[in-house]
């Protein structure tokens, strides 16, 4: 599972709708440490995914360590000993590779998923809005911690997605957050998936 949403209750409810229980989750990959990504790791003092191992970028953890962030301390810190820290280019599992995408947060990562000769980028929060993050990738976003680096990362990823015609999942894209990127001069455009993705 990638990220846990803002609360254990919401994410476990979504899992239940898909026919899963929290104890069936054996791996949780964290893309970054904002509360809407790690909030569901713990329900109070209780670990939500008791049978899981955790994977996150070492740079990401280090960027949040010693900041005093209450959510990080309550949700991620208790799981540090069960967490594997990776660098960009490392394999999470067969067909899943972590990629550095720093800027939105220190150590933010995306993940390339590969199967049957096809690829899909789990882009997490590299782009914050499906219109202006693509049409104006140089615009800075309030939530980006390193704004200049976030712009560079955004341009690099958008350029790759458009050039290689790769599908992507973006957490802030319209439901179901799956689509493509097209070039529009020096800008880009998000194209939501259609029925072709299901064939």
Q: What is the pLDDT of residues 122-166, one digit of tens each?
A: 999 999 999 999 999 999 888 888 999 999 999 999 999 999 999
Give the span between the Cα atoms of 78 and 56, in whole angstroms: 14
In this prediction, residue 199 has a pLDDT band, given cuts at 50, 70 and 90, of low
159: cis peptide before it, omega within 30°?
no
With the C-alpha atoms ordered 36, 40, 44, 46, is the resulting torsion angle positive or negative?
negative
Whole-model pTM: value is 0.92
Residue 91 included in any domain? no
Identify the domain boundary among 86, 105, 131. Answer: 86
**The token pair that represents 98 in the structure block:** 């972590």
Closest CA to 71 of 25, 40, 27, 28: 40
Is residue 79 domain-shared with residue 102, that is, in the same domain?
A: no
Is residue 78 domain-shared with residue 148, that is, in the same domain?
A: no
Expressed in percent and rounded to 5, the helix, strand and coil fractions of the chain are 30, 30, 40
Q: Is the pLDDT of residue 196 over 80?
A: no
How many beta carbons lie within 10 A of that of residue 93, not counting itself? 11
Domain containing 49 — which CATH number?
Answer: 3.60.15.10
Is residue 196 domain-shared with residue 149, that is, in the same domain?
A: yes
Is residue 66 domain-shared with residue 139, that is, in the same domain?
A: no
Residue 58 included in any domain? yes
Model confidence over 44-92: pLDDT tens digits? 999 999 999 999 999 878 887 778 889 999 999 999 999 999 999 999 9
């Amino acid at each position: 599972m990638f990220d846990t949403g803002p609360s254990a209750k919401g994410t476990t409810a979504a899992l239940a709708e898909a026919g899963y229980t929290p104890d069936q989750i054996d791996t949780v990959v964290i893309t970054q440490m904002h509360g809407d990504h790690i909030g569901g790791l713990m329900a109070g003092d209780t670990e939500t995914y008791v049978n899981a191992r955790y994977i996150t970028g070492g740079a990401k953890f280090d960027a949040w360590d010693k900041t005093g962030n209450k959510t990080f301390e309550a949700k991620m810190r208790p799981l540090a000993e069960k967490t594997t820290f990776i660098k960009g280019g490392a394999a999470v599992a067969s067909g899943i590779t972590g990629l550095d995408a720093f800027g939105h947060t220190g150590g933010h990562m995306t993940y390339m998923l590969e199967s049957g000769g096809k690829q899909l980028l789990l882009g997490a929060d590299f782009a914050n809005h499906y219109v202006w993050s693509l049409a104006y990738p140089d615009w800075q976003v309030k939530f980006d911690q390193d704004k200049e680096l976030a712009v560079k990362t955004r341009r690099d990823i958008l350029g790759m997605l458009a050039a290689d015609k790769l599908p992507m999942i973006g957490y802030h894209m319209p439901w179901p957050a799956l689509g493509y990127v097209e070039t529009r001069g020096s800008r880009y455009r998000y194209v939501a998936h259609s029925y072709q993705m299901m064939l």
